[in-house]
């Protein structure tokens, strides 16, 4: 049931008692599929293989009124090749007895018993196949113990912020098996239309053999307070993890040439504040370069007509814009330590929903 009367937003961060760390360990319950009432749920893994290939693989379930959509989304970006993207509607889903593993027509997601990793098996169109096994290198985390409360509903994201991957990709008569590194994100909302959670979304992932960084930041629609919700983490080899939750971004070099509807930034300046897991204050700045545009995804492409018509009545043309950056530089300062510059390769996903 959606609650259209409320216009308030209470972030998970705002409920954390003063003097208490907002970083909480992920629990099994945070990964469980609910699939009752109205809302959206998704499991997503992003990873880059050692040969440079970047992959996104996702299963999402959306329940709105009498309509339910099961959807798989897949993208492969290989060096020197056009991206391959599929968004396919599935007819059903089956939740495993562990409540966190799931099977649909195109994709099977299976967690191991101690929840230290998962496998995925994807069958796309034509000869496209993806098989992967993964291990969670870092602990799963979330901000606060309660979800964000938006417009009378709830929304939450939890992360395994560094994941090792062994994947086999088959398509176009080619077969490649490689290892790589990525991130797993679980998203769930209840009692709120999926496109009323955030009007603007910014996801940046930076990877290097020595570290993995992510930031997810979004702003609720103006009618729900235009509140910023943000979380980020930097996972480094042999060093304490760093979590950021007091975050700001600045959009620069706005450009109208990529899309007729939206003006897009070609540079995003992140300024982040947080703490290491051993309680040292930390800051991170990142001047993200979005000059290398790679793909545009129309979010409604594969949705069924009932759900699509409802969203079109409430939202103008939701679109995802994907960018790659080959020379990303993060500037990290931890109290008591020298400033450090971390270099890596980045993927940026901007989602505009109003």
| Least confident interval from 55-69, 74-88, 264-278 | 55-69
- Rounded Cα–Cα distance for residues 134 and 27 (Å): 18
Per-residue pLDDT tens over the stretch 278-301: 999 999 999 999 999 999 987 655
Per-residue pLDDT tens over the stretch 148-176: 999 889 999 999 999 999 999 999 999 99
Average of per-residue pLDDT values in the chain: 92
Pick the closest to residue 159 from 132, 180, 187 (CA basis).
187
195 DSSP assignment:
G
Q: What is the pLDDT of residue 299?
A: 63
Q: Which ranges of the chain does DSSP label H, i.e. alpha helix?
A: 305-314
pTM: 0.94
- Rounded Cα–Cα distance for residues 262 and 318 (Å): 10
Q: Are 96 and 104 in contact (CB under 8 A)?
A: no
Q: If residue 314 lies in a helix (H) or strand (E), which one and from where to where? A: helix 305-314
Calculate mean pLDDT across residues 328-344.
98
CB-CB neighbours of 145 under 10 Å: 12
| Residue 345 pLDDT > 50 | yes
Tell me the two tokens of residue 219.
């702003």
| Residue 35 pLDDT > 80 | no
Q: What is the pLDDT of residue 354?
A: 66
Pick the closest to residue 23 from 285, 231, 270 (CA basis).
231
Contacts of 322 (CB under 8 A, 6+ apart): 75, 77, 83, 293, 294, 295, 296, 297, 347, 348, 349
Tell me the two tokens of residue 135.
């291990």
Phi, psi of 310 (to 5 degrees): -65, -45
Contacts of 28 (CB under 8 A, 6+ apart): 99, 100, 115
Q: If residue 312 lies in a helix (H) or strand (E), which one and from where to where? A: helix 305-314
Pick the closest to residue 192 from 314, 350, 16 (CA basis).
314
Calculate mean pLDDT across residues 33-40.
83
Which residue is listed with tokens 């959509």?
Answer: 69
- Rounded Cα–Cα distance for residues 157 and 189 (Å): 9
| Least confident interval from 19-28, 29-38, 179-188, 270-279 | 29-38
Q: What is the pLDDT of residue 37?
A: 72
Report the DSSP pairing between strands 281-289 and 292-298.
unpaired
Query: Hey, what domains does the chain have and what are their CATH numbers?
Result: 9-352 (2.40.370.10)
CB-CB neighbours of 307 under 10 Å: 19
């Amino acid at each position: 049931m959606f609650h259209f009367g409320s216009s308030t937003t209470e972030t998970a961060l705002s409920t954390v008692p003063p003097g208490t760390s907002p970083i909480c360990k992920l629990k099994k319950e945070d990964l469980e599929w609910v699939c009752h009432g109205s809302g959206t749920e998704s499991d997503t893994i992003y990873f880059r293989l050692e040969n440079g290939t970047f992959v996104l693989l996702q299963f999402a379930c959306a329940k709105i009124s009498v309509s339910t959509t099961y959807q798989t989304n897949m993208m492969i970006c290989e060096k020197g090749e056009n991206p391959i993207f599929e968004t396919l509607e599935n007819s059903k889903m089956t939740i495993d007895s562990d409540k966190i593993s799931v099977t649909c027509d195109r994709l099977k997601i299976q967690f191991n018993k101690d929840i230290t990793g998962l496998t995925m098996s994807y069958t796309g169109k034509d000869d496209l196949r993806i098989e992967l096994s993964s291990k969670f290198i870092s602990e799963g985390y979330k901000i606060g113990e309660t979800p964000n409360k938006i417009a009378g509903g709830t929304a939450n994201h939890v992360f395994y912020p560094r994941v090792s991957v062994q994947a086999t990709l088959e398509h176009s008569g080619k077969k490649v098996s490689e290892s790589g590194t990525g991130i797993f994100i679980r998203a769930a909302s209840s009692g709120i239309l999926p496109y009323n959670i955030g009007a603007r979304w910014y996801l940046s992932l930076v990877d290097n053999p020595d570290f993995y960084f992510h930031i997810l930041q979004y702003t609720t629609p103006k009618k729900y307070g235009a509140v910023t919700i943000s979380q980020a983490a930097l996972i480094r080899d042999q060093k304490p993890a760093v979590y950021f939750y007091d975050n700001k971004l600045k959009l620069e070099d706005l450009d109208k040439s990529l899309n007729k509807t939206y003006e897009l930034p070609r540079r995003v300046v992140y300024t982040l504040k947080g703490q290491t897991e051993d309680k040292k204050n930390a800051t991170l700045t990142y001047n993200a370069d979005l000059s290398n545009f790679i793909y545009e995804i129309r979010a409604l492409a594969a949705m069924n007509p009932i759900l699509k018509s409802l969203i079109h009545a409430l939202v103008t043309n939701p679109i995802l814009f994907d960018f790659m950056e080959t020379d990303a530089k993060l500037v990290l300062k931890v109290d008591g330590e020298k400033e450090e510059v971390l270099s890596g390769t980045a993927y940026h996903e901007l989602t505009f929903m109003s």
